[in-house]
Amino acid sequence: MEPILGGAPAPAGGAELIKNSSTATFMTDVIDASHEVPVIVDFWAPWCGPCKTLGPMLERAVKDAKGAVRLVKVDIDKNQQLAQQMRIQSIPAVYAFKDGRPVDGFLGAVPESDIKQFVARLGGAKGPSPIEEALALAKEAITEGDMARAATIFTQVLQREPDNVEALAGLARAAIAKKDFAKARQLLARVPAEAAGHVEVVAARTGLELAEAGAKAQGALGELRARLERDPNDHQARLDLAGALFAGGNREQAVEELLELVRRDRKWNEEAARKQLVKYFEAMGGADPLTQSARRRLSSLLFA
């Protein structure tokens, strides 16, 4: 297959785009520099929990902008005078400077999608990058069930950006589809701690958990079906059958079995069927047509 991403792997640099600043250097780092390129200032502190989540997302977005914007980080504990001058009353606080003056900003933690839009507005949207286009193609391949093509594209992305979270999670999902659970675990172990809650990572981890659990029951498919023929109210057999079916790629049948279990006894085993369905939705992703249709059917059963 022709490479999706041309050229040699990108350098691991980008440090010049991100720097720490202080009261003494703020004028040079931010005000003066913003006459050349927009500068985002992240006011943070080591004790601030949301800052630890927001900071890495800002850094990723700035690196993805490929020089269209820069990021300056200011520790307010070490620069209290500057924080007072900027009237920083709560953190995280993010301000964008252009031509020597503030032009945009936000307070508190926000979703990564909002951060990307914020950076794109500031730097001037230039359309998707080659990496973003490749990731979109890979996700499209997954939706179409072409895991081999998806794996190839994700691998090419990781050759350019070894820490790309979406590519790591996507390649892990491709490994799960091949039942290569060890490789999937290795890929997910490479995900930075601050990205553990990324929706793609959560989906891959949940998918791995379900696949490993279901694989153990796959050899008993015939026995589980026989148990249900003898007793359609053998709820444990139906739950185990759903897990084995899902692990084997029979997602629609697995969902049907769990919806049937909800219909028969929604409260059984502390709502085990509903909870398992939620895990399936997480693993498949909210945009998956099966997730959307199953959610509607589950809601109809629960609120009937």
Question: SS3 for 280?
Answer: helix
CB 37 within 8 A of CB 83: no
CA distance 157 to 282: 24
CB 280 within 8 A of CB 242: no
CB 210 within 8 A of CB 243: yes
Look up residue 143 and give its amino acid.
T
Known catalytic residues are 48, 51
DSSP β-bridge partners for residue 106: 94
CB 66 within 8 A of CB 132: no
CB 244 within 8 A of CB 213: no
> Which DSSP string do the residues of 20-67 spell out, in sequence order?
E--TTTHIIIIIIGGGTS-EEEEEE-TT-HHHHHHHHHHHHHHHHTTT
* Burial status of residue 248 (CB atoms within 10 A of its CB: 0-12, 13-18, 19 or more): middle
Contacts of 98 (CB under 8 A, 6+ apart): 34, 38, 39, 122
How many CB atoms are located within 10 Å of the residue 104 CB?
14
Number of H helices, E strands in the chain: 14, 5
